[in-house]
Amino acid sequence: MDGVAQLQKQLVDYTASLFQEGFLDEQFNQLQQLQDESNPDFVVEVVSLFFEDSERLLNELAKALEQKTIDFRKVDAHVHQFKGSSSSIGAQRVQKVCIAFRNYCEEQNIEGCLKCLQQVKHEYSLVKSKLETLFKIEKQLIAAGGSIPT
């Protein structure tokens, strides 16, 4: 059916673009490969967990950086977590910002940290919307009777 084929193409192209633009990396492929009949919604589940966790971490980060005396260790711990989870799902750009963020934490560079916080927020919201779009297309595809190409 045209609809399905079209959706499939759309999905493939969109995913490819995300990889190309560096939003996602190889790790995301691994996630997709882990999805199977016994675990049909794995990717969505993991990514949803990631979203939840990230919101929390971003809030914590904002709070920690608003303090009069910043506890860099705490900030570093949060960023480390964020780095871990973003790398686990393959959110490459977010991960990269986290790395820079941690360097600033080590240097105890407040300005650098604040800058990174903004950056990481930005990257996160970008990758979030991209992934949400991706899932939407997938849903449409499945609804149209197609299957996600592996």
Residues that bind another protein in the complex, under the rule CB under 8 A: 27, 30-31, 34, 39, 42, 45-46, 49-50, 52-53, 71, 73, 77, 80-81, 83-85, 87-90
When the beta carbons of 39 and 133 are compared against another protein, the nearer one is: 39
Those residues whose C-beta lies under 8 Å from the C-beta of residue 10, and which sit 6 or more positions away, are: 137
When the beta carbons of 7 and 64 are compared against another protein, the nearer one is: 64
- The pair of structure tokens assigned to 9 is 């193409």
β-partners of residue 36 are 39
Describe the chain by its helix, strand, coil percentages, rounded to 5: 80, 5, 15
CB of 117 closer than 8 Å to CB of 123: no
Shortest CB 26 distance to another protein, Å: 9
Shortest CB 145 distance to another protein, Å: 27
Shortest CB 87 distance to another protein, Å: 5
When the beta carbons of 9 and 56 are compared against another protein, the nearer one is: 56
CB of 102 closer than 8 Å to CB of 76: yes
When the beta carbons of 20 and 38 are compared against another protein, the nearer one is: 38
